[in-house]
A and B are shown apart, each in its own frame.
Chain A
Amino acid sequence: MPMKGKFPLRRTLRYLERGNVYLRDTVKIVTINYNTLGETHKGARDFVFYNLPQLQYKNQNVQMQTFKNLTPSPFIRCFLNDGDEVLIDIDSKSNTSILEHVKKLLGKSEDILSAERKAREKKTNPANFGREFARECICQVPGQVPCPSVVPLPKN
């Protein structure tokens, strides 16, 4: 039985997880203004249809909102933490170029992403001991030498 709707591939977990734009932590709100009619707004409409779910899936804490038929030209307006605004003109652009533009302007670069990934791995890696990790000392592991502060080490 086939999936229902227009381009139902959008509604799969695999499609959502394919999103590769991770917005920076300072970006809090993303608004997209576009019209329902008009050839110059077609890219914006496609962006909202195909790419907005992916963007929202990867950035759960960012509020994303669309405004239809407010202004004659389409644009993306992002609100940052300190009250700053970022305005992206998306008139007569394809949805892929819009996505790339957003990624370049507001997306986390590959270096930052890999550093974050390493930091996450460090925490889960059981080989690390210390105050910030799961176990402070190897003496906490059952089967190892107990803590010398509790049980004195043998004299040999």
Chain B
Amino acid sequence: MASHSSRILLGQVVQSKLRDAAKVQITRLVLDEYVMQYFPNKSKVFSFDPKKVTKVGDIVLVKELEAKRTAFITHKIEKIIYSVGNVRDPITGRRCDSKSYWDEDERKKLFEKEPEEKTGLDETFAEKRSVYEDDRMKEPIMSLDRKDWKI
């Protein structure tokens, strides 16, 4: 395993509280010697993602760094393969779900704004996104200034 020159792995992004890294869950098949069947074995890897390009649930390609960034961050996000809820079929290049390919014109009529597609870390500047998708969490629930409290 150590002899591989460039170690790449495929995994799914999982929730993590880290500021500049994504926790990626990698499943590999491991043979159970007694039952003689392959079962998935999960392992977690912290991969460097400073601009928070990945969302929880994305399938990503992760590459081992030459030198560890911190004690935990050993890999970096190489490429987003399938974005969650927004899968692009690699053969045709069209967005799809398991049943059919999506009609882009119809979707434009139905939905005002489609989720942004980010394929890699090539954004020059990206707004730092919070871990919570909900917009309500960005504003404080109650003003922290005592003057504003009506008691």
Cα–Cα distance between A57 and B100 once the two chains are bound (Å): 34
Number of interface residues of A (CB under 8 A): 32
> Which listed segment binds A: B15-23, B26-34, B137-145?
B26-34
* B9 engages A77 (CB within 8 Å): no
Residues of B within 8 A of A16 (CB): 36
* B37 engages A81 (CB within 8 Å): no
Contact of A29 among B9, B36, B96, B97 (CB under 8 A): B9
* B90 engages A77 (CB within 8 Å): yes
> Which listed segment binds B: A59-67, A109-117, A133-141, A142-150?
A59-67
Within 8 Å of chain B (Cβ to Cβ): is A132? no
* A63 engages B26 (CB within 8 Å): yes
Whether A87 touches B98, Cβ cut-off 8 Å, given contacts A28-B8, A61-B1, A79-B10, is no
Residues of A within 8 A of B5 (CB): 81
- Minimum CB–CB distance for A95 against chain B, Å: 17
A46-67, CB under 8 A of B: which get 1 and which 0?
0000001100110001011101
Cα–Cα distance between A27 and B118 once the two chains are bound (Å): 25
Cα–Cα distance between A148 and B59 once the two chains are bound (Å): 64
Using a CB-CB cutoff of 8 Å, which residues 75-115 of chain B contact chain A?
Answer: 78, 82, 87, 89-92, 96-101
Contact of A64 among B29, B37, B59, B99 (CB under 8 A): B29
Whether A75 touches B29, Cβ cut-off 8 Å, given contacts A61-B1, A70-B98, is no
A18-41, CB under 8 A of B: which get 1 and which 0?
000000000011010001000000
Binding site for A on B (CB under 8 A): 1, 4-10, 26-29, 31, 35-38, 59, 61, 78, 82, 87, 89-92, 96-101
Besides A57-B31, A65-B27, 5 new A-B residue pairs in contact (Cβ under 8 A), listed by A number: A64-B28, A64-B29, A70-B82, A72-B98, A75-B90
- 18 A-B residue pairs with Cβ-Cβ distance under 8 Å, sorted by A, are A10-B37, A11-B37, A28-B7, A53-B37, A63-B26, A63-B28, A64-B29, A72-B96, A72-B97, A72-B99, A75-B90, A79-B10, A79-B61, A81-B6, A83-B8, A87-B90, A87-B91, A89-B91
Binding site for B on A (CB under 8 A): 10-13, 16, 28-29, 31, 35, 52-53, 56-57, 61, 63-65, 67, 69-73, 75, 77, 79, 81-83, 85, 87, 89
